[in-house]
């Protein structure tokens, strides 16, 4: 089954001849005529904005958590990951991830064994 131009949302082409030239104008439907196109575009834009906001919020939360960890280490260099998790209200895995990030940035260092060692803050 073939659709005619109107059913397909295409205007009839215009034919023009001028001098030795021949021109055909084919117009597509205006965006407003496509149901939902603008709304889909708006929703994609909103989602991108929401994702950027979420990422900024995550980063701020991570920074605050790192500050709390550094303050806790200043108060008690022998603090454990379990104690940090309990104090911060996050999982042990979350604390381990934060500590790994701080070590990777060269901000903290673990001296001694996992049990019985202590943390040293190199620079804040």
Question: Could you list the residue range(s) of the whole structural domain that residue 105 is in?
Answer: 21-121
In a domain, 101, yes or no: yes
In a domain, 27, yes or no: yes
Q: Output 106-113 pairs: Cβ under 8 A, ≥24 positions apart.
A: 107/70, 108/70, 108/73
The residues pairing with 118 across neighbouring beta strands, listed in sequence order, are 111
> What average pLDDT does this structure show over 50-58?
92
d(CA 44, CA 29): 21
Q: Using one digit for the tens of pLDDT, what is the confidence trace for 57-102?
A: 999 999 999 999 999 999 999 999 999 999 999 999 999 999 999 9
**What is the predicted pLDDT for the residue at 6?**
65
Q: What is the CATH number of the domain that holds 65?
A: 1.10.10.10
**What is the predicted pLDDT for the residue at 72?**
95
In a domain, 2, yes or no: no
Neighbours of 10 (CB within 10 A): 14
d(CA 48, CA 42): 10
Q: Residues 6 or more apart from 122 whose CB is under 8 A from it?
A: 106, 107, 108, 109
In a domain, 105, yes or no: yes
Helix (H) or strand (E) holding 18: strand 14-18
d(CA 11, CA 27): 6
Q: Using one digit for the tens of pLDDT, what is the confidence trace for 5-51?
A: 666 667 788 888 888 888 888 877 665 556 667 788 888 999 999 99
The structural domain count of the chain equals 1
In a domain, 16, yes or no: no
In a domain, 5, yes or no: no
In a domain, 4, yes or no: no
In a domain, 11, yes or no: no
**What is the predicted pLDDT for the residue at 123?**
75
């Amino acid at each position: 089954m073939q659709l005619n131009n109107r059913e397909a949302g295409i205007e009839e082409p215009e034919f023009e001849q001028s001098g030795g030239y021949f021109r055909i104008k084919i117009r597509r439907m205006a965006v407003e005529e496509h149901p939902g196109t603008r709304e889909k575009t708006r929703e994609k834009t909103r989602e991108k904005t929401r994702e950027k906001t979420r990422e900024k919020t995550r980063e701020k939360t991570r920074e605050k958590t790192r500050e709390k960890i550094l303050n806790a280490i200043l108060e008690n260099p022998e603090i454990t990951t379990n104690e940090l998790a309990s104090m911060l209200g996050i999982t042990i895995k979350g604390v381990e991830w934060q500590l790994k990030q701080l070590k990777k940035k060269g901000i903290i260092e673990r001296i001694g064994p996992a049990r019985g060692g202590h943390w040293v803050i190199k620079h804040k």
